[in-house]
Chains A and B, each alone.
Chain A
């Protein structure tokens, strides 16, 4: 184990050619290297060998589904998962002395990487008004301070309760129960910023908020689209499923502005062919699309399918399905036939031949799955794009059938489960009624605030208390300067966290750090050792049991912290909710969930079975719970963004050595970037046109209607095969460029893709590291 760094890492950029394949032996080496920097070999072995196993620890790294029990590898994890879990299981510790040494102002100047590298938080800390240092506080005082602040509010709607996707089902259920018993639906979550567009689009068109496919569907698909996603870095275990699909004969079409290594070839380190062989080619066809051109692409494909049906009546579309199970086809068909080829080619940057070739792939495939991620959802037209993908699937009956369907690929490990548990500011009355009937109080019915509206309300002084459970809200949210100012306007900010991050340094007048158990750690309560449950991207709900000794005896579980806050805020005893029982036995929480959340009946017994509970998707049962009772074809429109000369469209993205807002190193080896994260990747032709050369130093400036200056300073230019006219740079460093008001239509999701930028020569000396 290495000691935590005292100094910031130096920015020393070197650039090598991008890799053309992902994983392989280097993935194993890098995972072990990072793990052993953080902890000792025995702990690393315990983590890794129980990770994603039946009865073991669910990897918090992503929400990809596990293979069925009996079909899992002994090492059922990826490089990123191994890094992530050992980043949490680190033996580095932050004590009170650390906070005496470092003021909040000092910590506020530190980088995300440096803060994360300091280790685990070990005791509750408070920053009192007017002070610049955190100091220790007992749990009883910390919880009391927060409770008193909540009780002093003029209205419960002056508080927001933020959830990140690491939070377990049990903690999420308790949090939403507390918020609603307190009197507010202000429950923003990280979903607001990642797949909100997917949820809205799927709910409207298919009557379900979740993806429709399982791992088996991917294995048995004939054709798989990977649209706006980078599985090699963000959900590497998907590559195993894609490899299996390829071995079953599937073809894969990858659609992305960057030719990511994981889209091209995968060397499975668990298989001899991946260690000493050439691996598996992933994409049979790569469409180098312009950012945001996906809607135009699918509209063009849909037009081509209609024209193919005209040429071969009865052979292309699934007429029985369209007639019996959908509505709106005629209006959709009329609309999509008017799709203009010049507009499509301009928006996508593709040739007509490339799109027609994909059409031929589709016509030769009986079963099609479309996977997508934030390359779709974070655009202004994310919802219409996903609706158009649904149109595409509906035309040939690729929904509700084995080997076919819609697959939004989620990032946070329990982001889906948290929603299932009721973490949403707009929960339907049926859920709130069930809550009322079970617990005997009337939940508020007015919709609450999502993430963007919470920031707006904090900025305007309408929110006084912010409680964040897990995550790093300040860095995950858009418009960093605005968000930070909003947080500072709060009377109290409190974070339930395992490790230090920037949200602890950008805080309200009073700030609390409430340290919690990690997913890897044993959770002993009065009722005995507990486990928690999570739901993956494919609607499988299963257990997660920590195996390690907690980082500190003073840590409380998320459930315990929330139950204690609820007790102190709302009172305890007869007539009150059973917070004490919930804290001592999470099974009591699951019993309540089983009576409130449809589909989770008999929760405790069923989730204990190997593999847990597979929540059915109504679409696969032939049920479309939409306004018409059928799947909806929709008419979608788009406007190509106006990009003035000298400007580019930016997409923010993660590096390979990063988990959400946490960079582990300054490297991104698949893209050939080493030693720095302050880089902007630009197509060489665009660089030439802009008069820039490799490693030229620039400020990235975004352009928005409000004419406010949003500037990310001190970036180095790297020529890279991004789609012409586009650029890419790392999140969260470039969140400062995303205007708060720049949101996706309908879903209100911040648009971290398709940001209009220009590159300027620096006007100021280099900024601090963060």
Chain B
């Protein structure tokens, strides 16, 4: 597996940076490579990424998520496999250091790209810069989810989150 780590400092409080990051469906608004994200469940997201004619879909499981601290994810499925984490650390009054680490298993044509020394780091650096521009431009997050995930299992912040309000009577 190849690994990459980048940090960006953004001029918003930790809570704002964290909340915005976890609004995964908004990634296409600032990202140059993310085309679409579906939040299947709190702990499962479906991503479509690509540049030009190259396009790839994958599903990730959020394994750990602690508000205003960090989240850890991993891809599901055969290939290409990757895992990663993002951590949020206060970097002075109203500022946050966002650190992303990723481990990737090169596979297929896109894998050749990630195997080029420094290439993945450059992409990640550029995406984090895009995130900084976006969140600093708005100054506030477009939403927020304050639940916790441990071992892939969700601990909601409220007793009855809206998505749990569905028919629960027995179905034969």
Residues of chain A touching chain B, judged by Cβ–Cβ distance below 8 Å, are 189-196, 198-200, 202-203, 207-210, 214, 216, 219-220, 247-249, 318, 320-321, 324-325, 397, 400-403, 415-416, 419-420, 424, 426-428, 431, 539, 597-599, 614-618, 620-623, 625, 629, 747, 749
Task: Name B's interface SS.
Answer: loop
- Report chain A residues within 8 Å CB of B168: 203, 207-209, 618, 625
- Report chain B residues within 8 Å CB of A192: 172
Minimal beta-carbon separation of A207 from chain B (angstroms): 6
Size of interface on B: residues with Cβ below 8 Å to A? 32
- Say whether B172 contacts A195, CB under 8 Å: yes
Interface contacts beyond A202-B170, A401-B153: sample of 16 additional A-B pairs, CB < 8 Å, sorted by A: A191-B171, A194-B172, A196-B170, A196-B172, A203-B168, A214-B40, A216-B40, A321-B153, A400-B153, A401-B61, A415-B172, A620-B42, A620-B154, A622-B154, A623-B156, A629-B159
Residues of chain B touching chain A, judged by Cβ–Cβ distance below 8 Å, are 40-44, 46, 59, 61, 76-78, 147, 150-156, 159-161, 163-172
Minimal beta-carbon separation of A242 from chain B (angstroms): 15
21 residue pairs of the A-B complex, CB under 8 angstroms, read: A195-B171, A196-B170, A198-B172, A214-B40, A216-B40, A216-B44, A324-B155, A325-B153, A401-B61, A401-B152, A539-B166, A597-B167, A598-B166, A614-B40, A617-B166, A618-B164, A621-B154, A622-B153, A622-B156, A625-B164, A749-B172
- Say whether B170 contacts A397, CB under 8 Å: no
- Report chain B residues within 8 Å CB of A193: 172
- Say whether A621 contacts B41, CB under 8 Å: yes
- Say whether B151 contacts A401, CB under 8 Å: yes
- Report chain B residues within 8 Å CB of A209: 167-171
- Report chain A residues within 8 Å CB of B77: 219-220, 248
Expressed in whole angstroms, the Cα–Cα distance for A539 and B41 within the complex equals 13
Partner of B165, one of A199, A247, A318, A599: A599
Residue of B nearest to A450 (CB): B172
Expressed in whole angstroms, the Cα–Cα distance for A415 and B61 within the complex equals 30
- Report chain B residues within 8 Å CB of A625: 164, 168
Known: A403-B76, A598-B165, A615-B166. A622 touches B171 (CB 8 A): no
Residue of A nearest to B44 (CB): A402
- Report chain A residues within 8 Å CB of B44: 216, 402
Residue of B nearest to A165 (CB): B172
- Report chain A residues within 8 Å CB of B156: 621-623
- Report chain A residues within 8 Å CB of B161: 621, 623
Known: A318-B151, A320-B151, A621-B41. A416 touches B171 (CB 8 A): yes
Expressed in whole angstroms, the Cα–Cα distance for A209 and B166 within the complex equals 10
Expressed in whole angstroms, the Cα–Cα distance for A452 and B55 within the complex equals 55
Minimal beta-carbon separation of A215 from chain B (angstroms): 11
- Report chain A residues within 8 Å CB of B167: 209, 419-420, 431, 597-599, 615
Minimal beta-carbon separation of A599 from chain B (angstroms): 3
Expressed in whole angstroms, the Cα–Cα distance for A733 and B150 within the complex equals 51
Minimal beta-carbon separation of B36 from chain A (angstroms): 11
Residue of A nearest to B172 (CB): A191
Residue of A nearest to B152 (CB): A401
Minimal beta-carbon separation of B46 from chain A (angstroms): 8
Known: A402-B43, A598-B165. A199 touches B147 (CB 8 A): no
Known: A397-B151, A400-B154, A622-B153. A427 touches B169 (CB 8 A): yes
Residue of B nearest to A399 (CB): B153
User: Considering residues B59, B76, B155, B171, which has the most beta carbons from chain A within 10 angstroms of its beta carbon?
Assistant: B171
Known: A419-B171, A749-B172. A620 touches B76 (CB 8 A): no
